[in-house]
Structure 1
């Protein structure tokens, strides 16, 4: 899935707080956005979906952070939403494609690495590849809370994320050629 889809999922996680704890909702949504994007910083490590992708560890840490957030402060709630969003990112990466350069030509069986098990979970390809049309639809659906329940920075980031998603989907299948031609 696109990083922007993961970010929108993180914001959507915070949507219930817009009703039950509106004073904490913006911080939770921004933390969800950040947590949704964070694992993909391992793209720069050469070990994508392994270096910063921790589906088990983020989930365990999110449980601990959620317990701390039972005494809600902006920091405890933001920490919990960051970790839940990062965990969701890692788990949903297995719903997408593999790590191949052209994921619409499925040749790679690595979806996301599970460190405690010491093995890769295979990609399910429910979302065929990052930047597939169905990925854009999913990004749009998960962006609805960011557009309608929040304002300010959350709404702005949501709009920017959707715009980036549209452009990315439009050029996605051309990127492998650009990479092999100019970056390798």
Structure 2
């Protein structure tokens, strides 16, 4: 029996509602900022780099996180802010794929200041942060890779044709449920 596996699963259950998916409230722990994404965190270099940039901007340069397979909460390894996240996340994803797991990731900061959850590569994911530094003050990073609740509220007003298309594609109820759970 791998005792560390169960210890790590406790680490996950302190932060994440295991099995919950968007638009439900995924987190047991409360954070003050939530950023949603629809690219695959395992393969999108831009998303991985943007996530690392946000974490480095919001937290000390010595932040370390644990990475888990979403499917069975298997501990995959540690992710340090000084690591090359593209190489590291791709490598951890390859380990999962080689074992037949094509699911998503859970990444949790050791101090539980931030967490990222994406159940599968084709599902939306969320990056949750507890920091005084406001990510919405980093517009280039936010606009290119993430959306926040303010963006969703704007879409729901359907002022632009693009907004109408996004609301229709994603579903008004889905977006309203996200606002209810992450506001």
TM norm structure 2: 0.29
Structure (1/2) with the larger helix percentage: 1
Structure (1/2) with the larger strand percentage: 2
TM norm structure 1: 0.29
